[in-house]
Amino acid sequence: MPIILLIAMLLLAACDEPSPQWRDDNAALDEETGEKDITDESNLSDEVLLNDDDQPTIDCTPATPTTNEENALRQLFPNGEMFCTAKTGSGAGYFIAVKDGTTVGYAFPGSNYGFDGTVEALTAISPEAKSIAVAIVSQRESWWYRLGQWFFDQFKGMVLSDITLSPKYDKNCYPCSDMYEAFKPYEVDAVSGATYTSNAVTKDVWDAFYLYDEVFTPPSKF
């Protein structure tokens, strides 16, 4: 009979069609790409996956020094170091010199009035709390020529733990004998004929020492 034949053909066609199933688009994508299904929280981990082009980076804020600061930094650290910037707890900014991923020193600022104006300097200190050198950022002192290299060399190689940082020097001192005495066991002298100028530089160095002491134990590596 035609009707019975039609029903039989429909049943035969139904048997050939695959059974219905739920489709997981994400799962299908994973099967094709081999990647983890990030929509499944069980697949998440604490690993940081890097792209092929990613390179290890140093965790620091790149410094943007002024031209004068850059010149002073290169004088203090002449071996191609890169410079980062940070702030002390009181908000004073300072520089961190980094070479091959390792901190090689710090440069702390000082700014004090001399004879004709403000003398700004950076004092470099090693991670071991030993002074490296002093470099001038800006000055306009009439008697600057009296400050020979010997004067700046006095501040090299001081181990901060050898110096008593408290009490602090008197900002308004003159001729500041007590301030120079406080460097003991190291010997530092003012410049005769340029006392105000040499006092300003010496105060800059003290201010740098105080800032280093405020930071206390900065990380030696990034």
User: At 9, is the pLDDT very low, low, confident or very high (cuts 50, 70, 90)?
Assistant: low
Taking CA atoms, 207 is separated from 7, 15, 17, 79, 204, in Å, by 100, 91, 86, 26, 5
Q: Which of 163, 152, 177, 153 has the alpha carbon at shortest distance from 213?
A: 163
Beta carbons within 8 Å of 70's beta carbon, 6+ residues apart: none
Residue ranges of alpha helices (H) inside the chain are 2-16, 25-33, 67-76, 149-153, 177-181, 195-215
List the beta bridge partners of residue 130. 159
User: At 57, is the pLDDT very low, low, confident or very high (cuts 50, 70, 90)?
Assistant: very low
Q: Say how far apart CA 107 and CA 170 lie, in whole Å.
A: 23
User: What type of residue sits at position 43?
Assistant: N
60-72 per-position pLDDT tens digit? 899 999 999 999 9
138-195 per-position pLDDT tens digit? 999 999 999 999 999 999 999 999 999 999 999 999 999 999 999 999 999 999 999 9
96-146 per-position pLDDT tens digit? 999 999 999 999 999 999 999 999 999 999 999 999 999 999 999 999 999
| Concatenated DSSP letters of 33-64 | H----TTSGGG--S--PPPTT------SEE--
Which residue ranges make up each domain of the chain? 61-215
Beta carbons within 8 Å of 208's beta carbon, 6+ residues apart: 108, 109, 110, 121, 122, 123, 125
Taking CA atoms, 9 is separated from 3, 12, 18, 19, 20, in Å, by 10, 5, 17, 18, 20
pTM equals 0.72
